[in-house]
Chain A
Amino acid sequence: MILRLRALIIKELLAILRDKRSRLLLVVPPLMQMIIFSFAATLEVKNVSLGILNEDSGQASNELAQRFHASRTFRHITYLKGDAEVAPLIDSQGAILVMRIADDFSRRVESGQPASVQFILDGRRSNAAQIVQGYASQIVSRFSEELASSVPGAPSVKLLERNWFNPNLNYVWFTVPSLIGVLSTLIGLIVTGLSVARERELGTFDQLLVSPLKPFEILLGKTIPSFLLAYCEGLLILGVAVFVFRVPFNGSVLLLLGGLAVFLLAIVGIGLFISSLARTQQQAVLGAFVFMVPAMLMSGFATPVENMPPWLQVVAEGNPLKHFMIIIKGVFLKDMPPAIVAANAWPILVIALVTLGAASWLFRSRLE
């Protein structure tokens, strides 16, 4: 049995590695995706266009406007002359934020009364608008703090922020480790997904079935090579993350490698399931994407799982990528202790048992 299995594993690996195109396919697109993802999938907002409607002409309002000039976030500042210009500016996306300073602003500040400014935001770009609002509020509140501290004897509370694990909120530190999960899922799914479908399409599958190989040997012979290739892919991306992108690796390598192994078992199970179902390679690739896109969206890669409606959060529990994302980011950035890794790994193990079990059941029942 070992002999037959070995022959099958060698054949699977050779079939992929001998072909120049599929060799390239294993290395180049993931690296490209890695570069694209890490620079494109950023939520930072820079070079914001701002409109200021200053109805006041006092010193305080000018001072506040100057603060915005000084900030590096806001690049294009348009001064508006009246209410009527606000709507057209936002409509034409000339500014994402218009700050309106009322005509009594300076007077009230000087007399020590509370004064207010109004932010008008472009809700069509809700995400960016929220972030811009954050930046703008920061500038305004710092301005008001300074005003308060200039009045002797006035009490003041100063806000000091510290970002743990990623002090400068460098987005690459967040994206690149997540890509280890995303890209090894992609490769694992495609390689496994194609493996049975390709043989079906070429007619070599019958040749395997008439040989003394038993169905579970064929299944193992398909699982192991795909697992190995996806694992190498994960290691490649890990290497690039640490040595090229210089993302600090704070945790235990062994924990990450162990987590990756469990995770890929689950993915290979899903890949085999798709592969047993698909008649052609085309169907297999389509099937892989049908799984891939929702799995990515529900993994916490782009949007936090906690933001989703409760029923969807329950569904997300069945997504191996969601659990693995926690392990990856945890081990990478904050040296997650083994106990917590294990707490996130056992659901993946359960999912792996389910997917592998379902795949082998489907594989056997589709042999007819």
Chain B
Amino acid sequence: MPEVLASIQGVSKSFPGSSVPALDNIRGEIRAGEICGLVGADGAGKTTLLRLLAGLMEPSEGRITITGLDSVDDTSAIHERIGYMPQRFGLYEDLTVVENLHLYADLRGVVNEERTEAFERLLRFTDLARFTERLAGALSGGMKQKLGLACALIRKPRLLLLDEPSVGVDPISRRELWKMVGDLVDDGIGVVWSTAYLDEAEQCDTVILLHEGHLVHNGPPDDLTQHVEGRVYLVRGIAEDQRRQVLARSLREEAIIDGVIQGKSLRLLVRVGESLPNLPGTAEVTKPRFEDAFIDSLGGGPGGESALAAGMTAIRSGDGTPVIDATDLTKKFGDFTASDRVSFQVHQGEVFGLLGPNGAGKSTAFKMMCGLLQPTSGRAKVAGLDLKTATSQARSRIGYMAQKFSLYGDLSVRQNLEFFAGIYGLSGARKRSAIERMIETFNLDAYLKTSAALLPLGFKQRLALSCAVMHEPAVLFLDEPTSGVDPLTRREFWNHINGLVEKGVTIMVTTHFMDEAEYCDRIALVFRGRVIASGSPDALKSESIPGREASLEEAFIALIERELGKTEKGAPA
């Protein structure tokens, strides 16, 4: 058994002014030579636990020891032994790569030959040697994280704490980061990797799984997934336009406790001791994922009903012209082409996803479609209206939900609803009934007077969605709608979206989150400003990696690598 580097003994942490503790009786151990995944959604308590481990806060109850030293009494000794990389790593964006390294070397007191050696080792390790003179602010998300990692490793720590290192990092860099951390672990360092992505949990040696401050699981990830072994089914062969109804129907079944859309198929989780009810298509048992087990341990997901969609009038089918129509959308910022002749069509009742790493240009394309950016050339039409000429009319047909729920935090829930109804031109009885319907649908009653900033995360999302759909838009734009959200809230959200789609609403979504991409009917993969592939998730999977069942992430990496190969061959050296 390898040495225990950190031991968390019944730790709780409460913050003044908050009735619920941020952490409640957490236990766990972190060993040398292992990656410990600290897994949970935003607000689950990950950062609090990491800060406790780093000795930056004192636990309200319980005790933490790091290499036998108490986290409260021996803080400075602990700081000698750990490396800590906070969420937005403290890089100085106006300093170059090497100046950042020098700064952290100075702070850590690494001098002379030791410094030269450390720099050489770290630059080789992170592959940043080519960029030493570049400003840290000009690095891509992945490279920033690598530099952050290098700064945390200047003096080789016994224990390395990484707070959400994979946020804002494209899949290729994410894979490289994992490999780098793997090398460190082989060297005998213990690593804590905190993440909101449940698929990353499967790659860890042990997992501390948190949900709303409570410990859900502590141990190897397989111990948890084992519980759902044989209860996860993949249902294939459902007609494409039927799978949302079938999902809604199956979630009404007593025996099924969770279900999501996965490309053309449905992924269903069956209650212990029950068997899969009769459904269209062919079902087979599939390998469980960590997420299935997480939902199972929380007692199952939400039902499949959407009260929101139920109360909405269906949009009449159009004449078959695309609802969203982008033709050769190009956007240049100076010399830089952020979007290069991007074209796509989305038809009524479709869910269309723009998928791509950060900085690839998916946000630029997305912003041009909802009128936030004027294209340099090309045309964007929504619901038959040109965004350039009929701006205000086109916008009244659009609903928009931004990444971080852009609500007015100082306004109460009701005031937010009133405001959004107002700017979309609702008035009188129509306004009143729209607001009442939203309150009823999303159970906002208890929170009407609460300031939006103080709402629990799930309710924030509900409020943001109600503000976006109150005026019954024909098209709904969603920007990374569920990143960092726990799987239950994410399911509830997609239930509503699926319900809206059934009513004829067209959805356009950007995401870098593979699970979210699986909900889409079609996706366009954006890379370096261009659409490099598009089609249904299943088609992309089979096209990029023929012959076996690949995950969307693998397909994504394969397609990008193929594209990189093409440009390298094509471009003169």
A157 at interface by CB-CB < 8 Å: no
B402 at interface by CB-CB < 8 Å: yes
B477-A210 in contact (CB<8A): yes
A368-B422 in contact (CB<8A): no
B406-A204 in contact (CB<8A): yes
A212-B402 in contact (CB<8A): no
Q: A14-B415, A204-B408 are in contact. Are A209 and B427 (CB under 8 A)?
A: no
Nearest neighbor of A17 in chain B, beta-carbon distance:
B410
Docked pose: A213 CA to B372 CA in angstroms: 12
B395 — which chain A residues lie within 8 A by C-beta? 210-212
Contact for A4 among B391, B406, B418, B422, CB less than 8 A: B422
A7 at interface by CB-CB < 8 Å: yes
B402 — which chain A residues lie within 8 A by C-beta? 203-204, 206-207
Contact for A7 among B391, B423, B477, CB less than 8 A: B423
Which B278-330 residues have a C-beta within 8 angstroms of A?
A: none
Docked pose: A16 CA to B409 CA in angstroms: 11
CB distance from A230 to the nearest CB of B (A): 19
Docked pose: A28 CA to B359 CA in angstroms: 46
Q: A3-B425, A7-B423, A8-B422 are in contact. Are A212 and B407 (CB under 8 A)?
A: no
Per-residue contact bits, chain A 188-208, to B (CB 8 Å; 1 contact, 0 not): 000000000000001110111
Q: A4-B422, A214-B392 are in contact. Are A368 and B374 (CB under 8 A)?
A: yes
B411-A210 in contact (CB<8A): no
B404-A11 in contact (CB<8A): no
* A-B contacts at CB below 8 angstroms, number: 82
Contact for B400 among A6, A11, A206, CB less than 8 A: A206
Nearest neighbor of A204 in chain B, beta-carbon distance:
B406
B423-A8 in contact (CB<8A): yes
Q: A210-B395, A368-B374 are in contact. Are A18 and B412 (CB under 8 A)?
A: yes
Instruction: Say what secondary structure dominates the interface of chain A.
Output: helix
Docked pose: A4 CA to B421 CA in angstroms: 9
Q: A3-B425, A211-B395, A212-B423 are in contact. Are A11 and B415 (CB under 8 A)?
A: yes
Nearest neighbor of A15 in chain B, beta-carbon distance:
B410
B87 at interface by CB-CB < 8 Å: no
Contact for A210 among B393, B400, B403, B419, CB less than 8 A: B400
B410-A212 in contact (CB<8A): no
Nearest neighbor of A6 in chain B, beta-carbon distance:
B422
A18-B451 in contact (CB<8A): yes
CB distance from B423 to the nearest CB of A (A): 5
Which B381-421 residues have a C-beta within 8 angstroms of A?
A: 391-393, 395-396, 398, 400, 402-404, 406-412, 415, 418-421
B423-A15 in contact (CB<8A): no
Nearest neighbor of B392 in chain A, beta-carbon distance:
A212
Which B471-515 residues have a C-beta within 8 angstroms of A?
A: 477
Docked pose: A208 CA to B415 CA in angstroms: 15
Docked pose: A21 CA to B71 CA in angstroms: 36
Per-residue contact bits, chain B 344-385, to A (CB 8 Å; 1 contact, 0 not): 000000000000000000000000001111100000000000
Docked pose: A212 CA to B426 CA in angstroms: 11
A350 at interface by CB-CB < 8 Å: no
A64 at interface by CB-CB < 8 Å: no
CB distance from A142 to the nearest CB of B (A): 64
CB distance from B432 to the nearest CB of A (A): 14
Docked pose: A6 CA to B404 CA in angstroms: 26
CB distance from B391 to the nearest CB of A (A): 8
Nearest neighbor of A16 in chain B, beta-carbon distance:
B410
Which A1-25 residues have a C-beta within 8 angstroms of B?
A: 3-4, 6-8, 10-11, 14-16, 18-19
B403-A15 in contact (CB<8A): no
Q: A206-B372, A210-B398, A210-B477 are in contact. Are A3 and B422 (CB under 8 A)?
A: yes
CB distance from A169 to the nearest CB of B (A): 47
B424 at interface by CB-CB < 8 Å: yes
Per-residue contact bits, chain B 416-458, to A (CB 8 Å; 1 contact, 0 not): 0011111111010000000000000000000000010000000
B411 — which chain A residues lie within 8 A by C-beta? 11, 14-15, 18
From B410, B411, B415, B451, name the one whose CB has the most chain A CB atoms within 10 angstroms: B410
Contact for B427 among A3, A18, A211, CB less than 8 A: A3
Q: A4-B423, A6-B422, A214-B392 are in contact. Are A209 and B406 (CB under 8 A)?
A: no
CB distance from A367 to the nearest CB of B (A): 8
Contact for A14 among B406, B410, B424, CB less than 8 A: B410
Contact for A207 among B400, B409, B412, CB less than 8 A: B400
Q: A15-B410, A18-B411, A206-B400 are in contact. Are A7 and B421 (CB under 8 A)?
A: yes
Docked pose: A203 CA to B409 CA in angstroms: 11
CB distance from A4 to the nearest CB of B (A): 5
CB distance from B536 to the nearest CB of A (A): 28
From A11, A211, A213, A368, name the one whose CB has the most chain B CB atoms within 10 angstroms: A211
Of the A-B pairs whose beta carbons lie under 8 Å apart in the complex, a sample of 13, sorted by A's number, is A3-B427, A4-B422, A8-B419, A8-B423, A11-B415, A11-B422, A18-B410, A18-B451, A206-B400, A206-B402, A210-B477, A211-B420, A368-B373
Q: 18 additional contacts, CB 8 Å, given A207-B406, A212-B392?
A: A3-B422, A3-B425, A3-B427, A7-B419, A10-B422, A11-B408, A14-B410, A14-B415, A202-B409, A203-B406, A210-B371, A210-B372, A210-B395, A210-B398, A210-B400, A212-B393, A212-B396, A213-B423
Sorted nearest first, the 5 A-B pairs with minimum C-beta distance are A7-B422, A210-B400, A204-B406, A212-B396, A203-B406
